[in-house]
Amino acid sequence: MKACLSAPGAPQGLQSNRLDLRPPCADDLDDCARMWRDQTTTAFMGGEPFTREQVWSRLLRHVGHWSVLGFGFWTLRDRESGAFVGEAGFYHLLRELQPSPGDDPEVGWVLAPEARGKGLAREAVSTILKWADRHFSASKTICLIDPDNRASIGVALDCGFRPTGEVAHVTGKLVLLKRNRECRPEPDNDWRS
């Protein structure tokens, strides 16, 4: 996959009005494990809370994406307090989907329970899409969302994604949404990178 024009080797930190988006690191493990242990976090991803071991593997995968592909996930923290808010970024997971959506970068995000319902997901996704528009050679990004996850579908729609159908995955049917670079909305955040 050659989606990233400039593979920086290490992720860049980003900021939005309320968030610091930081490179993932081992120190994030406790915060991430707390979030993924909550059943509401995994409700649309199989429903079972993640073990600490699973969260560690996930964190290593985030770091590995940056090392191998030049893109990946950021850890989200509140700019004022430094409190952990969640994760957002890009995947290339080689998912076995029918039909295959191709090699476009996949966007993902998750918020800690106490951070939900405040517009932070939209702010984080808008921030990383702005980054992607400067760094990806791919003209599209995709996201895959459980059809019952109305909150995440709303975030995706607000950020310029449009549903294109469903795909079959081992976890069940997922809504496939795509975003063309020319369809991006101009967010009302103060961008810094």
pTM: 0.87
Type of residue numbered 135 = H
17-183 classified as CATH 3.40.50.300: no
pLDDT digits (tens, 9 = 90+) for 31-68: 999 999 999 999 998 889 999 999 999 999 999 999 88
User: Domain extents for the chain?
Assistant: 17-183
User: What is the total residue count of the chain?
Assistant: 193
103-128 pLDDT, tens digit per residue, is: 899 999 999 999 999 999 999 999 99
